[in-house]
Amino acid sequence: MRNRFRPQAAKTIVHGSKNPGQRRERMKKVNIRELAQVLNISVATVSKALRDSHEISAETKKKVVEMAALLNYTPNPHASSLRKKNSKTIGVILPKVADNFFSLAINGIQSIAESKGYHLLIYLSHDKFINEKLIVADCGSGRVDGILISISGDTETAEHLRQLNEENIPIVFFDRDFDGFDTARVITNDRECGYMAGKHLVEKGMQRPVFLSISSSLPICKERAEGFEQAIRESGIVASPAYQPVLYCEGSDEAIFEQIKTIISQQDGPDAVVASVEKIALQVYMACQELGIHIPAALKVIAFSTLETAPILNPSLTTITQPAFEIGKTAAEILFKGIEKKNFDLKGEKIILPSRLIERASTQ
């Protein structure tokens, strides 16, 4: 293992150095008592002065703040959290971070959190309920003041969330919500967009357009698929008996890739596909490249995606683009309402930020 690396600087040898025993003992960080001692005032006064309490004289405040800066004092967040019963932290639970949508959403969330002086604890469920459950449990007991979650693909119960609700920790869904749990959700108009995608392909004269879904339980996929199916039904396409408007690709990335190749290369296969998520779109492109299937001549492609590179793909990709940043931002804003206003009720809040279809060469 080690020989993969090429250390370029010799490792400094410190064992047996001059000052044994003082290395690595976490250096005594100055605490509020010491700060008070130096100033010859009480800790209570210091504490209040630092929090800019009105019951402290301007003069004292100044002295305290200056000395704090001088001694590089910063309050211990754990002590403070323990006492105040809040953490100034929110938990963000995502299926993955490698999807551009989630990167953008994190930016939106971060922009709000930063302005509120909150910290962001990020968790990845890797799209597995089993992980999500552990993570949610970890967020309990005051570790976070609120949770923003995009549910995993195979979550089928909300018991874990209910648990947290017991503790009165506000939860907001963003993008991927869960029907069986009533709390605020910030999502996009998935059904409508599925319909738009279907309509767009029908208008292009497609006869066997197929929606490639990754989950039959995930609301975003279900909604998109249903909207799509409705468009197909309304179109009056005379279906051959073998034609299925919605197909499922499940399993590992490799498995999905194989399924896609099978689907698009078969006799009487689709003449157009809708990728339900970004990953599927890339795999369709890769598959077409590998199999020599021409987009859009032999296969038209639309993808639900926020891919920045959509306009410069070969060919450029028609997308239904979610307002990812805004979704993250809005979800965070609502969460903070729930955190700050003790009597703000998140139940029933449902905000829908619309996505847009951007036509490019892949459906020309």
Residues between 123 and 162 that touch a second copy (CB under 8 A):
123-124, 137-138, 140-143
As measured in angstroms, the least distance from the Cβ of 79 to DNA is: 3
Residue count at the site for DNA (CB under 7 A)? 31
Q: Does 5 bind a second copy (CB under 8 A)?
A: yes
Q: Does the protein bind DNA through residue 25 (CB under 7 A)?
A: no
| 210 beta partners | 273
Specify the stretch interacting with DNA by CB under 7 A; choose among 50-58, 143-151, 240-248, 276-284. Answer: 50-58
Considering only residues 25, 52, 55, 254, which one is a binding residue for DNA as defined by CB under 7 A?
Answer: 55
Q: Which does 57 bind (CB under 5 to 8 A by kind): DNA, a second copy, none?
A: DNA
Residue 160 one-letter amino acid: H
Distance in angstroms (rounded) separating the CA atoms of residues 149 and 178: 10
What is the rounded CA–CA span in Å between residue 320 and residue 305? 6
Tokens of 185: 């959700």
HSE-CB for 242 with a 13 A CA cutoff: 7
**One residue of 37, 47, 60, 100 binding a second copy per CB under 8 A:** 100
230-234 long-range contacts, Cβ below 8 Å, gap at least 24? Answer: 230/194, 230/195, 230/198, 231/194, 231/195, 231/196, 231/197, 231/198, 231/199, 231/202, 232/198, 232/202
**Residue 308 binding a second copy, by CB under 8 A:** yes
Whether the Cβ atoms of residue 172 and residue 327 lie closer than 8 Å to each other? no
Tell me: does residue 140 bind DNA (CB under 7 A).
Answer: no
Give whole-number Cα distances, 331 to 163, 306, 352, 353, in Å. 21, 18, 11, 11
The residue within the footprint of DNA, chosen from 14, 23, 44, 115 (CB under 7 A), is 44
Site for DNA in 84-123 (CB under 7 A): 84-85
3 state DSSP class of 25: coil
Secondary element (H or E) of residue 356: strand 356-358
Among 23, 69, 70, 141, binds DNA (CB under 7 A): 141
How far apart are the C-alpha atoms of 224 and 219, rounded to whole Å?
A: 8
Extract the tokens encoding 184: 């605020």
Per CB under 7 A, the segment of 77-85, 196-204, 210-218, 332-340 that binds DNA is: 77-85
Partner from a second copy, DNA, none contacting 52, C-beta within 5 to 8 A by type: none
State which of residues 48, 128, 204, 337 lies at the interface with DNA (CB under 7 A).
48
Angle between the N-to-C axes of helices 219-235 and 190-203, in degrees from 0 to 180, rounded to the nearest 10 = 30
Q: Which residues of 37-59 are buried (b: 16+ CB within 10 A; e: fewer)?
A: eebebeeebbbbbbeeeeebeee
* Residue whose CB is less far from a second copy, 239 or 352: 352
Q: Does 48 bind a second copy (CB under 8 A)?
A: no
The reply on whether position 152 binds DNA by CB under 7 A is no
Out of 2, 6, 83, 294, name the contact with DNA by CB under 7 A.
83
Give whichever of 182 and 268 is closer to a second copy, judged by the CB atom: 182
Show contacts with a second copy in window 184-223 (CB under 8 A): none
Which parts of 161-220 interact with DNA (CB under 7 A)? none
**Interacting residue ranges for DNA, rule: CB under 7 A:** 29, 31-33, 40-45, 47-48, 50-51, 54-60, 73, 75-76, 79-80, 82-85, 141
